[in-house]
Amino acid sequence: MFGVGPDVAAQLLTTAGDNPDRLHSEAALAHLCGAAPIPASSGRVRRHRLHRGGDRGANHALHTIALCRMRYDPRTRAYVHRRITKGLSKQEILRCLKRYIVRDVYTALRADFAALAP
């Protein structure tokens, strides 16, 4: 996957390997990694924040992937530019990117776990 080096992959595999029974969906992985969106709205402002719980190391790994993709991946750079023109802040864009990355990671992890199963 783009932006995933050996250290980041090791952290994500450690998080998933320590909790295989908790990974029943990509939303569960997002919650486990601290990348699940939580409503933080007040009044007329509708916004979300990331879940503060979960494995902080896994959240840092997602953050590293997101920063790498924001800097070097042309598709992600176009996505960031498009979201900035819609009025989102960099922090909100980073939150959205982490959730998309969790979807990719979950798909890759499930494929690896399926290959290992007898």
Q: What is the C-alpha R_g of the chain?
A: 15
> Tell me, what's the pLDDT at 11?
92
Q: Extract the tokens encoding 8.
A: 């980041």
> What pLDDT is recorded for position 14?
87
Residues of the chain with pLDDT under 70: 19, 50, 113, 117-118
Containing 5, the helix (H) or strand (E) segment is none
Task: Return the pLDDT at 41.
Answer: 73
Q: Which one, of 114, 118, 105, lies nearest residue 14 by Cα? A: 105
The predicted pLDDT at position 18 comes to 72
Q: What is the pLDDT of residue 117?
A: 65
Task: Name which of 94, 91, 88, 28 is nearest 65 in CA terms.
Answer: 94
Q: What is the pLDDT of residue 69?
A: 94
Alpha-carbon distances, residue 92 vs 15, 26, 37, 38, 77 (angstroms): 24, 20, 10, 12, 15
Give the DSSP H or E segment for 49.
strand 48-50
Q: Please give the pLDDT value at position 118.
A: 63
Overall residue count recorded for the chain in this entry: 118
pLDDT at residue 7, as a whole number:
94
Rounded Cα distance between 52 and 111, Å, is 28
